[in-house]
Amino acid sequence: MSSQRLLTLGSILLLFAAALAAVPPCARVPEPQSAAVSAEPQLSEEQIRQFLLNAKVVKSRQSRKGVTNPYRLTLSDGALTHDASFQAIDERKPSMQFADGRIEMNFRDSYHYNIAAFELAKLLGLGDMMPVIVERKWSGKSGSLSWWLNDVMMDEAERVQKKKEPADVEEWNRQMHRMRVFTELVYDTDRNLTNVLISRTWKLYMIDFSRAFRLHHDLQNEKNLVRCDRQLLDKLRRLDRAQVQLKTKGHLNKMEIDGVMARRDKIVAYFERLIAQHSESEVLY
C-alpha cells in the first residue's frame, strides 16, 4: 500500500495527461505566477483575507487559462501590492453536453463552490493546500477572489509533460492522497491537471472548484482512495453538518450539503474496510 510509485490525481485524470501530449506547448504553458512586488511580509490568513476584501483594484487583465476566463487583478492597500484571481461564473443549465459526448444533468458552474471548497478544506485541516479565497464584488459582479500564489513553478499538466519528479516521492504521494480524498468528498468533476499547482518546494495547491459539489451521494471513483492521512480521516469522522452549514452559508444549499455528508460517510466506511482488509499502518500515515 505504501509503494514509492509517483502518484497523480487518479486513473481517470491520466487520460487527460495522455491527451495533453497532443496539445501544442504554447496552449498549455501556465500563466506566470510572478509577484507584483517581489518582497512581501509574511501574512496570516486573516491578514490576507482582509487585504482581499478591502484593497483597491489598481489593474486588471483577463486570464488566458481556463474555460471561465477569470481575471487577474492587482490590488494595493498603499503598503502592499499583490495579485489575485477573480472568478465570477455562476451558470446553471438543465443539461450540459461536453466535447467527449458526456451529458451532465442539473449542470452548475459557480464561483460559490470555490469559496465553499476553501471553507470545507479548512474544517478538515487542508486549508494550506488552497490559496485564501473570499467573496467580493468587482466591476459590478460578485465572485470569488483568491490570493495569487507567487511561488508556483508549474502545474501538474506541465510536470507530467516534462516528466519531472520530486526528490521526496513519499511526501509527494502523501499530498496527492489528501487531494484525492478531498476531490471525492466535494465530487469535483473538473479536477484536471491544470488545476493542481506545484510550488518551488514541491508543495501542492488545489485551485478552481467551480464544477464541484454535485448532488450525488456516491463517490466518483473509490479506487483512487488508497491511503489517508490519519488526522484527515479523524477530521472526516468528526465533520459536523452544522459546521458545514455555517461555514458554507450562502454558497451551498441543503441538497449539496446532503451530498457532502453522504460522501463523507462513504469515504470513512471505505477506509475502514481497507484497514480491516490490510492493516492500519498500510492504509494510514
Dihedral sign computed on CA atoms, order 136, 139, 140, 141: negative
Following CA atoms 223, 212, 83, 161 in sequence, which dihedral angle do they give, to the nearest 10 degrees?
40
| Cβ-Cβ contacts under 8 Å for 133 (sequence gap 6 or more) | 114, 115, 117, 118, 144, 145, 146, 147
Please check whether residue 5 lies inside any domain of the structure. Answer: no
What single DSSP character describes residue 274?
H
pLDDT attached to residue 217: 98
Quote the domain boundaries for residue 141.
11-283
Task: Compute the distance between CA of residue 159 and CA of residue 62 in angstroms, rounded to an integer.
Answer: 25
pLDDT of residue 35: 42
Residue 276 in any domain: the answer is: yes
CB-facing half-sphere around the CA of 69: CA atoms within 13 A: 3
DSSP summary character for residue 62:
E
CA distances for 55 relative to 99, 150, 258, 277, angstroms: 39, 18, 36, 53
| Rounded CA separation 230/228 (Å) | 6
4, part of any domain: no
Letter for the amino acid at 239?
A: L
Nearest-angstrom CA–CA distance, 264 and 219: 9
72 occurs within a structural domain: yes
Identify whether 181 is part of a domain: yes
- Whether residue 277 lies inside any domain: the answer is yes
Show pLDDT as tens, one digit a residue, over the chain (285 residues).
545 688 887 754 443 343 333 333 333 334 444 444 446 789 999 999 999 999 999 999 998 766 678 999 999 999 999 999 999 999 999 999 988 888 999 999 999 999 999 999 999 999 999 999 999 999 999 999 999 999 999 999 999 999 999 999 999 999 999 999 999 999 999 988 999 999 999 999 999 999 999 999 999 999 999 999 999 999 999 999 999 999 999 999 999 999 999 999 999 999 999 999 999 999 999
The reported pLDDT for the residue numbered 251 is 98
Whole-number Å distance between alpha carbons of 115 and 106: 20
**How many helices and strands in the chain, by DSSP H and E?**
9, 10
The tally of domains found in the chain comes to 1
For the entire predicted model, the pTM comes to 0.88
**263: in domain:** yes
Give the distance, in angstroms, between the CA of residue 1 and the centroid of all CA atoms in the same chain: 25
Asked if the structure places residue 2 within a domain, the reply is: no
Angstrom CA distances, 113 to 37, 192, 213, stand at 29, 16, 7
Question: What is the C-alpha to C-alpha distance for residues 54 and 26, in angstroms, rounded to an integer?
Answer: 35
Amino acid at 184: E
Q: What is the pLDDT of residue 186?
A: 98
Q: What is the pLDDT of residue 181?
A: 98
